[in-house]
């Protein structure tokens, strides 16, 4: 160790880097006085700066905590609104399905009624056509029967038979 100290003092005396154990020559006292003055006078200034910095950090932390609480409250409210909106959407969907079923049933019932009405109208129309055809056939049959009757009467009734028929009819009256 003595060699290190000896080397350091020799290096210092030659102007190079080394250890200088002379307290007065190394300015340790000056440095100690300077540090003491800085601590004595700078304590208030530094203390003020540090306390202001501490207060601003505490305020920032308090603000961050308040924002976190507000964000948590807002999140809870929005989640509640989302839950309500989902419930409302489910209710609307259920109502729409019920309404669709009711409308489908109503349309089916209306279609059945329309088919029945059409069947009844077709049946009535067929009955009417049948009646007209029967009436037409009857009229033709009557016309043919009258024609044949007239032809027979003309063949069977001569002039004297017609007079006898007229006389009998008058006698009956």
Please give the residue range of the domain that contains residue 17: 2-172
pLDDT tens track of the chain, all 173 residues?
455 444 445 545 555 665 666 656 667 677 778 788 878 877 777 778 888 999 999 999 999 999 999 999 999 999 999 999 999 999 999 999 999 999 999 999 999 999 999 999 999 999 888 999 999 999 998 889 888 888 877 777 677 777 787 888 888 87
SS3 (DSSP) at 22: coil
Q: Tell me the C-alpha to C-alpha distance, in Å, between residue 153 and each of 95, 97, 141, 164, 165.
A: 85, 82, 18, 14, 12
**What's the CA dihedral at 140, 142, 144, 146 to 10 degrees?**
-150
Query: How many structural domains compose the chain?
Result: 1
Would you state the pLDDT for residue 5?
Answer: 47
Check residue 49 and give its pLDDT: 86
Burial of 171 (0-12, 13-18, 19+ CB in 10 A): exposed
Instruction: Supply the pTM of this predicted model.
Output: 0.41
3-state secondary structure of 158: coil
């Amino acid at each position: 160790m003595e060699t290190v100290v000896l080397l350091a003092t020799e290096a210092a005396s030659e102007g190079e880097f080394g250890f200088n154990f002379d307290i007065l020559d190394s300015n340790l006292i000056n440095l100690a006085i300077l540090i003491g003055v800085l601590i004595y006078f700078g304590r208030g200034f530094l203390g003020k700066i540090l306390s202001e910095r501490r207060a601003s950090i505490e305020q920032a932390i308090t603000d961050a905590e308040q924002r976190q609480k507000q964000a948590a409250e807002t999140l809870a409210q929005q989640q509640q609104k989302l839950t309500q909106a989902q419930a409302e959407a489910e209710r609307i969907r259920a109502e729409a399905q019920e309404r669709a079923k009711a409308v489908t049933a109503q349309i089916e019932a209306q279609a059945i009624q329309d088919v029945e009405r059409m069947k009844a109208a077709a049946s009535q129309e067929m009955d009417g056509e049948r009646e007209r055809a029967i009436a037409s056939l009857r009229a033709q049959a009557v016309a043919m029967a009258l024609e044949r009757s007239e032809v027979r009467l003309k063949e069977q009734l001569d002039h004297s038979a017609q007079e006898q028929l007229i006389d009998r009819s008058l006698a009956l009256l």
